[in-house]
Structure 1
Amino acid sequence: MRDERLAAAEVTLHLHHDDNKARKLKYNLAEARASGRTTLLTFGGAYSNHLLATARAGAREGFTTVGIVRGEEHLPLNPVLAAARDHGMRLAYLDRGTYRRKHTPEVIDGLRERYGDFHLLPEGGSNAAAARGCAELPAEIGQPFDLIACAVGTGGTLAGIAAGLRPDQRALGFAVLKGAAFLNEDVAALQREAFGRPTGNWSIDLAHHYGGYAKRTPKLDAFIEDFRERHGETLNWVYEAKMLAGLYDLTARATFPRGTRIVAVLA
């Protein structure tokens, strides 16, 4: 991608469009099918792409889907939740206090009483099966690169991508949440579960969240508009815009050595 701001720093950037949500679901769906369950239940915020991806996959693969949304219902539904509903997902809501306890036996048992014997997918779809799916991504990138970047919500994509890299490559995640230092341990834990150990070839930028999850600032909006005018690409402001704005900011600060070849993963 040609951009004089990158060229001045002798950094190259390639945008790689990839359906990482489908990758995270690949082995989870296989496990659900093997268990004989016909309902998928998962969790997410009001702008969760994971909820939408699960709804689409369920419609395609013949699963009933239930999405448990953090917080109160707001009508009309935003475009993400409306699309999930249109793909057949049944939406339900948990207050934020209960949502924080969503993986406790008390909450899960209550959901099973209501929805039956479902196959449980974690928030964001991030578990060992998801990481194994995402580990297949780097080998499919057609051009050489030194650094691969992705947005980080729950850590599964970064955990998998880093595990799929060669020894001379690194991964850089950009947290879309405010105060997300906990993601470092979450990613390490996912790698231990999926691959036996943390790979040590990744890091997470915590400074470019632009207000926190599903929040935006005038500075981020200006970057999105400028990027659209320059490159004809309209960025997802919840996730990928924060990652790319972070990459440009770090480039301007001479964070990357000259000659660095970067791949940015876009959903």
Structure 2
Amino acid sequence: MNRTGRIALVLALVGVVGMAFRVSWNALRDIANAVGADQTAATLYPFVVDGLMALALVATLVLAGRDRTFALRVLGTYTAASLVLNYVHGLVPALHGATVDWGRLADWDPANWALVLLATSLPVGSIYFGSDLVAKVLHHRPAPIPTADTNAEESTETEVNRSTADLPESTPAPITATVVRVPDLVAVDYLKSALPLKPVPSIAPAPAPQIPSRASAAVSTRSRRATGRVPQAARSARPKRTPAQLLTEARTATTGWPDAQITAEGIRREVHTSPANARMLRDTLLAERAAAAVGTT
């Protein structure tokens, strides 16, 4: 609808509301005279009831949320009250000529008391509810009109929150312990006895290093720390042991050892030999113990 059509619609609405107010104004004025209001008060009484209805309607269009609900309740309450008073005015013809008894709106006393209470409480309610609605309208802050930048920021924030919330929680993988069964010594001895023994290789003694006659250690008055590998000429000469000597020392060192303790590393540390000799000595000692165990059985 264009602007001209809207203006015409609003003007028509104002005309209809004005005529309806004029019709209701006559009934409410007579009701005010019946409950004891003077001429001026009776003239202003319709503005108290129907005027608050108009104010509540405007507040409904401006407010939002709970405040809008409150304005709708005020509008509905005062609309119902005005309808009841107009209905009573139509039922009691004596109110039209102001010939009714003062304070008498109905023949039945409970109904009369209720109508008088309703007619006299509406001005007080207009003061309270009207002030509250005006305060709510003045303190109302309309929501800002969303722009393109605002929509972009909100969409970005929504996507970030959604992606963050959809991430699954990382759960640690269950740790399963691997059980390693240590073979029994009896089974090990049986396997050693069943397997053929390997012949012990003969180890040729390494030739003694030839120290040149011209080599002489340099004498220095101050100590120097070793910065590299010690040259072969500066090492102390140590006699090489034959395989038989190594085997004898290994037998002596492992006399009280169980079979499970006889390892190449243990023999190497006790006899102070190379890893290759230590492995050879380990195999020889285990073979001898296996042969001894077979002989005793």
Q: TM-score range by the shorter chain?
A: under 0.3
Greater Rg over alpha carbons, structure: 2
Q: TM-score, normalized by length of structure 2?
A: 0.18
Q: Under a length normalisation based on structure 1, what TM-score does the superposition of the two structures give?
A: 0.19
Name the structure where strand makes up a greater proportion of residues: 1
Higher relative contact order (CA 8 A, sep 6+): 1
